[in-house]
Amino acid sequence: MKRIVTFFAALGAVAGALVVPAASQTLRMAHIFTPGNIWYETAEAYAKAVSERSGGKIKIQIAHSGSTGDWPQSIEGLLIGTNDIVLQSIGTLDRYDPFAGIEAYPYLVRDLDHFRKVYYGPMGAELFDEIATKTKFRIIGAGYRGARHLSTNRPITDVADLKGLKLRVPPIKSNRLTWEYLGASPVPMGVAELFTSLQQGVVDGQENPLEIIDNLKLYEVQKNLAETAHVIGAYTFIYSDMRFKSFPAETQKILKEEGERIMLEATDRMAKAESELKTKLEGKGMRFNTVDRAAFQAKLADLPKQFPEFGDWITRIGSVQ
C-alpha cells in the first residue's frame, strides 16, 4: 500500500509540473461602428490578432453596428455578462464614476505627440488603473479619435459668437460644462438623434471629430466648421475589470498587448485620415475657419473647480513632455 501511495504521489507531482494548454475561449465584443469605418476595422484587427497570437484558443465574436444596443446598453452588458468587450471612448465611463470624464476634458491633451506620451507612458498606466479602481472597468489601449471641432449653422469666429448657441453635446459632464463656460446652451443628446435634430433646428450645432461628421453626413445639414480642437480623445477596448482579472495570466497578457498594438496602429491611421477628411468635407461644401484657441482656453480657466474628482490629474497630464 505504501508503494501505491508513493507512486500516485509521484505521478501527481509530475502532472502538476506539466504545462496544460489553456482551454479555448470565445469573447463577445460589441460596438456601434459600421463596415468601412476605421473603428469597425480596428475591432476586426483586434479579433484577428488575438486569435493568431493565441493559436486560435481565444476567439472574439463581434456584434457591430449597434446590433445588440447602443453604447450605454453595450457597456452595461459588460456588467451583466452579455458582453466581454466594448469598443468605445474612455469618457463614456463617466456615468459609472465622474473621474473617467477626464478623457473629454477640454485642452487637456495638446496634440498627437502629447496623446501618445500620455496614454502610452507611465502616466497612462497609472491613469488606467485609477479608472479601473473607480469605475470597475478595465480599459486596454488608446486610439486617437481625431480632434473634436465645432460645426454650426452660422459661422463661429470667436468665443463671443457662441452666446445662446443651442449645441448638442454627449451626455458627459465635462462636455456639458465646457460649453456652458464658453457661453453656449448645451443640449445633452444621443448621437442617433443628432442628424434629425440639426435638420429640424432643435439644435444649431454639434461638436465631433471630422470622422464622425463625415460618417453621419452632417455636411448635409451643417456648412460651417470652426477648428476648435477642444478635445483630443481616445477610443479603447473596455472590459469589466473583475471579468478581465478572472482570465488566465497569459490570456490577459495577449489581450492587453495586442489591444495596445492595434490601438496604436489605429492612431496612426486616424492621424493620416484627418487631412484627407478635411479635403473631403470641403468638397461637400463645408467651410473651415480657424479660431483663437487660446481665447477659448482662457475662458475655461475656472473650469477645474467644477471637477474636484480629478484632483491634480489635470496638472499632471498637462506637465507630460
Q: Which residue has the cell 457662441?
A: 162
pTM, rounded to two decimals? 0.86
Q: Which domains does the chain have, with CATH numbers?
A: 23-318 (3.40.190.170)
Closest alpha carbon to 100 in 170, 187, 193 = 170
Q: Which residue(s) pair with 239 in the sheet?
A: 138
pLDDT score of 190 = 83
pLDDT score of 171 = 84
pLDDT score of 173 = 87
* H/E stretch holding 294: helix 293-299
Q: Could you give the CA distance from residue 112 to residue 210 in angstroms, rounded to a whole number? A: 15
CB 70 within 8 A of CB 36: no
Alpha helices per DSSP H over 206-248: 210-215, 241-246
pLDDT score of 2 = 39
Q: Could you give the CA distance from residue 84 to residue 220 in angstroms, rounded to a whole number? A: 36
pLDDT score of 22 = 53
Residue positions counted in the chain:
321
**Helical packing angle, 122-135 and 112-119, nearest 10°:** 70
CB 103 within 8 A of CB 233: yes
Please write the tens of the pLDDT for every residue from 177-191: 999 999 999 999 888
* Block mean pLDDT (10 aa), the chain, length 321: 40 34 83 94 98 98 94 94 97 93 94 96 96 97 96 94 95 90 94 92 96 94 96 97 97 98 97 94 96 95 94 95 91
The per-residue b/e assignment along 143-164, b for 16 or more CB within 10 angstroms, e otherwise, is: bbbbbbbbbbbeebeebebbee
Question: Cβ contacts of residue 279 below 8 Å, gap of 6+?
Answer: none
* H/E stretch holding 269: helix 249-283
Cα dihedral 182/306/89/218 (nearest 10): -20
pLDDT score of 66 = 92
Query: Which SS3 state, helix, strand or coil, does residue 188 take?
Result: strand
